[in-house]
Amino acid sequence: MYVAVKGGEKAIDNAHSWLAEERRGDVAVPDLTVDQIREQMALAVHRVMAEGSLYDPDLAALAIKQARGDLIEAIFLIRAYRTTLPRLGHSRPIETDDMACDRRISATFKDLPGGQVLGPTFDYTHRLLDFKLAAEGEALADTAPIAPVDQAPMPRVTEFLNRDGLIQTEQASDATPPDMTRAPMAYPAGRPLRLQALSRGDEGFLLGMAYSSQRGYARNHPFVGELRIGKVPVSMEIPELGFDIEIGEITVTECETVNQFAGSKTEPAQFTRGYGLVFGQTERKAISMALVDRALRWQELGEDNVGAPAQDEEFVISHSDNIQATGFLEHIKLPHYVDFQSELELVRRMRLAAGADEVKEAAE
Amino acid sequence: MQIAAQRGFDMPAYDSANAFRAAMSAIARPGTIQTIAPIAADLPFSQAAAVLLLTLCDHETSLFLAPDLDTPEARHWIAFHCGAPLATKADAMFALGSWDALAPLDDYAQGTPEYPDRSATLIVEMPEITQAGPRLTGPGIQTEAYLALPDTASLMANHAKFPRGVDLFLTSGCQIAALPRSTKIEVR
Amino acid sequence: MSQEYNFAYLDEQTKRMIRRAILKGLAIPGYQVPFASREMPMPYGWGTGGVQVTAACLTPADTLKVIDQGADDTTNAVSIRKFFERTAGVATTESTRDATVIQTRHRIPEEPLTEDQILVYQVPIPEPLRFLEPRETETRVMHALEDYGLMHVKLYEDIARNGEIATAYAYPVKVEERYVMDPSPIPKFDNPRLESAAIQLFGAGREQRIYALPPYTQVVSLDFEDHPFNPSKADHPCALCGADHTYLDEVITDDQGGRMFVCSDTDYCSRRQADGHRGDMAPPVLEALS
């Protein structure tokens, strides 16, 4: 005897209990602490902060723990929490010129004021599994590098070019940029909104887009003019006090690419720029962002639209958000009996009609 | 000046929900008259208008306050309870005043062909709201409705611009009625 | 009721923003109003638009019903109903008649709605022209110019190729002879009931759009004179309540090709059974009572 499916609520509760159990794993293995994740899974924490658009390492670590290490799920937790936060004010723009750099490299000049600082990078590691890490009781290597004490000033690489007029000048503006989380996106979005969308966009999506532009889909010859990672102070004007106070510091990754530009009849040949700025130590993402930013500037810089995906603002922005994408992708798991039934009816009817036609044709 | 005595909603989440339902019913059913619960404020405009401001306006919505209502008390109350920045007619998302102070409708944002929603909403203070007026038909009206309107000719012209045009709330005392741009107006 | 969150979860500023969009939507029936959709604690594509619209409409006195595929007990309907029980503390019901606000995915209840009800649809892709033209910048201009030629060509090609319009759900409609609108993925069987006494609100969270149909708004399913719209359904009665006028789910009952057809609207079906209507495979009355 058929009975309509009941008990959805119980099924959901049971699924949640099972999930909690699976998340914990073998209870004989010690529970992972949020501190451990924050300190030892720092790059995961940084990605969750960047794409979650919320700078809070503890909450990001908690989200990673709760999400069983699924970073998109963790980003989702952070985004959903972020929406509920009251907006108490706006910070001043951060000043990356004053960054206390852990890492600062330029691919365009062999040496430069402030020097090349490799910092904590995977770049020249040989990707060989380090089985020592698997052994318990890992001891700190006694050759820990010493952080630079007095950092020399690190002027911006692109400014050297700018001084000689060799690179296109970015127009400074004090205009308040629109906020993509408070106003619906409309196209053309313009660069401030584009940069916001890219900064919180999915790392994998941007990597793919950037890579496609390198391979010839809107190729524009980028070099990393400068990549810097480090801490910058965040300050806020307190109206009651009438001056700015520093409210904390955040780690960001900034990338400026130097790209070729052939020049035009009216303008002499000159380099152009792409820009990436992302929360945390998120180098792959910041470089990808700079490449995609540059590709999206084709119109502003008088280039041809060659129809490459990375040049298409609406395409890039509409599909860069992994929370939107994963939600819609996964919603096809939800029941669609009704839609499917209507298609089933339609297909059956059309087959019936086609069959009738065939019988008729055969008779003729 | 007793600003402290000029109240907003006692329980914003509940009061605004009830007020919104009245506003939504009014605009979804042109010609009907909705009643809202009053608030404890003595203002140069009606309770209904005050409740609409509290329900719909905030620091993200610019408001044109007609000169006849632009008193220090009104400004204080709006700044404190809504936070809506005051604006000129052309820049306003909302406008509040008597018909004479608000007209003509062409002064306000009418929306664009691509974005007809980017148009002003006018809250028109009326001496009274009655259903003795021109015949209304269109979305939200099963057969026909009647509503006394401040200026039939210019409201007919507003409808003729559909999907562009402005939308009106009419307010008096604790009563609200609405005339969205979609409503067709006929004079008998 | 949860203490950490505001009534119906959303903060008041967000509700005001959504409410303004709803009012503009009602003033321009069928037009998609952009709104600054918030990130909700459930995934995009799972009803975030509907949930935001419902949250902006609910009052403490409301009685809420949530259905998915016509049923109250599908998992996502259960989940959304629970969300509002927790965050708004409103009464909930499975009875269409007793509900003041109904949030739905993919169905319009069989029971005619009344002037005292609000029907909120969850919408995945609000743009009816999207599958013909993926660019928002293009489709927005088409709506502005009332240029729906592309849609007519598509429907006509369907007829030329298949003998009929090959759209079974999310069947496009024209509202008050102006905007072509996506009625959300309801089966076209439901299209005639889009003309309703209730207020109908459509929320698309991921796509950041709200649109609306005031009561008694004229809603016409697109068709051609020689191929009139046909709101067809499976040619069976409901196996449980015997109804021959309702939309049916097909249920596979065994691996031998056995199947049965039952009402997709579970509340309507059980009400009919309670009223004594019986289908071929309905449980015997005595057994049902015991």
Domain ranges of chain A: 12-83, 96-120+152-167+186-326
Per-residue pLDDT, A109: 87
- How many Å apart are CA A69 and CA A60, to the nearest integer? 11
Per-residue pLDDT, A143: 57
Q: Tens digits of per-residue pLDDT, C247-289?
A: 999 988 888 888 899 999 999 999 999 999 999 888 776 554 4
Share of chain A above pLDDT 70, in %: 91
Question: Which of residues 302 through 341 in chain A touch C, CB cutoff 8 A?
Answer: 314, 318, 323-324, 326-331, 334-339, 341
Q: Is the per-residue pLDDT at C237 higher than 50?
A: yes
- How many Å apart are CA C166 and CA A345, to the nearest integer? 11
Q: Which residue has the higher pLDDT, A157 or A291?
A: A291
Report yes or no: C154 at the B interface, CB cutoff 8 Å. Answer: no
Q: Is the per-residue pLDDT at A229 higher than 90?
A: yes
What average pLDDT does the segment B109-138 reach?
97
Per-residue pLDDT, C263: 95
Q: Is the per-residue pLDDT at A175 higher than 80?
A: yes
Touching subunits for chain C (3+ Cβ pairs under 8 A):
A, B
Is the ipTM beyond the 0.95 threshold? yes
Q: C79: buried, middle or exposed (CB in 10 Å: 19+, 13-18, 0-12)?
A: middle
Q: DSSP characters for A271-340?
A: BEEEEEEEESS-HHHHHHHHHHHHHHTTTTTT------GGG-HHHHHHH--HHHHHHHHHGGGS--HHHH
Per-residue pLDDT, A214: 93
Residue C47 is among the residues annotated as catalytic for this protein: no
Per-residue pLDDT, A252: 98
Share of chain B above pLDDT 70, in %: 97
A160 falls in which pLDDT band (50, 70, 90)? confident
Per-residue pLDDT, C288: 47
Could you tell me which chain B residue has the CA closest to the CA of C219? B139
Name the residue facing C232 among A76, A328, A345 (closest C-beta): A345
Residue C269 is among the residues annotated as catalytic for this protein: yes
Q: Which of A2-11, A290-299, B42-51, C229-238 has the lowest mean pLDDT?
A: A2-11
The full set of domain ranges for chain B reads 35-186
Per-residue pLDDT, A256: 96
What average pLDDT does the segment C5-12 reach?
90
Q: Tens digits of per-residue pLDDT, C29-48?
A: 999 999 999 999 999 999 99
- C68 touches C50 (CB < 8 A): no
Question: Which of residues 32 through 91 in chain A touch C, CB cutoff 8 A?
Answer: 76, 79-80, 82-84, 86
Q: Is the per-residue pLDDT at C171 higher than 60?
A: yes
Touching subunits for chain A (3+ Cβ pairs under 8 A):
C
Per-residue pLDDT, C267: 96
Per-residue pLDDT, A24: 96
Q: Is the per-residue pLDDT at C2 higher than 60?
A: no
Per-residue pLDDT, A150: 60
Per-residue pLDDT, A239: 78
- How many Å apart are CA A194 and CA A293, to the nearest integer? 8
Can you list the domains of chain C with their CATH numbers?
12-221 (3.40.50), 233-283+286-290 (no CATH)
N-terminal to C-terminal alpha carbon distance within chain A: 47
Share of chain A above pLDDT 90, in %: 62
CB < 8 Å to A79, chain C: 39
C1 falls in which pLDDT band (50, 70, 90)? very low
Q: Tens digits of per-residue pLDDT, C185-231?
A: 999 999 999 999 999 999 999 999 999 999 999 999 999 999 999 99
A274 falls in which pLDDT band (50, 70, 90)? very high
Q: Which of A338-342, B52-56, C125-129 has the lowest mean pLDDT?
A: A338-342
Residue C57 is among the residues annotated as catalytic for this protein: no
Q: Which of A70-79, A345-354, C115-124 has the lowest mean pLDDT?
A: A345-354
Out of C49, C238, C242, C279, pick the active-site residue: C238
- How many Å apart are CA A299 and CA C164, to the nearest integer? 44
C3 falls in which pLDDT band (50, 70, 90)? very low
Q: Tens digits of per-residue pLDDT, B82-97?
A: 999 999 999 999 999 9
Say if the Cβ atoms of C24 and B115 lie within 8 Å.
no
To the nearest whole Å, the CA of C38 is away from the closest chain A CA by 7
Distances (CA, A) of C171 to A68, C263, C280: 41, 21, 31
N-terminal to C-terminal alpha carbon distance within chain B: 48
Q: For the domain B35-186, what is the CATH code?
A: 3.40.50.11310
- C210 touches C35 (CB < 8 A): yes
B46 falls in which pLDDT band (50, 70, 90)? very high
Compute the mean pLDDT over every residue in chain C, rounded to the nearest whole number: 93
What average pLDDT does the segment A280-306 reach?
94
Q: Which tokens hold the place of B147?
A: 């509503």
A137 falls in which pLDDT band (50, 70, 90)? low
A1 falls in which pLDDT band (50, 70, 90)? very low
Closest among A290, A273, A232, A199 to A102, alpha carbons compared: A232
To the nearest whole Å, the CA of B171 is away from the closest chain C CA by 16
Q: What is the largest CA-CA distance in chain A?
A: 96
Per-residue pLDDT, A26: 96
